[in-house]
Amino acid sequence: MPQLLLTLLAGAITWGIAKLGARFMQPESTGIKPERIILLMGNMVTLPQIILCFAMLDIFSYNSYQIHLLSLWVFALIVMVVGGVIIGIFFLQAIRQVQRVSKE
């Protein structure tokens, strides 16, 4: 149930931002593709989903075999660091695109 709610929330955020973006889109080009930003925003909800999925797998594993897969806080830290790196890469690409357009 929590994963369904998070999925619906991600879809609603992406849909709402896409509608607002289409309504207020400026005719001049800034060099940033709004579709990529909206896609990134919609997928940011996947980080809590991944952590929640791992927590459920750990609970099932412990109930079945009395072993923990990995400490939850360690897994959450790994997911947040990897997510931060991916978001940082998107941020740097957006900065480069804006700089490239502003030089032209």
pLDDT digits (tens, 9 = 90+) for 7-20: 788 788 778 877 77
- pLDDT above 90: percentage of residues in the chain: 28
Identify whether the C-beta of residue 98 lies closer than 8 Å to the C-beta of residue 36.
no
Q: How many CB atoms are closer than 10 A to CB 31?
A: 13
Sign (positive or negative) of CA dihedral 24, 30, 31, 32: negative
Q: Is the pLDDT of residue 82 over 60?
A: yes
Summarised one tens digit per residue, pLDDT across range 45-71 is 788 888 988 999 999 999 999 999 999
Contact 77, 7 (CB under 8 A): no
Task: Note whether 34 and 23 are within 8 A (CB).
Answer: no
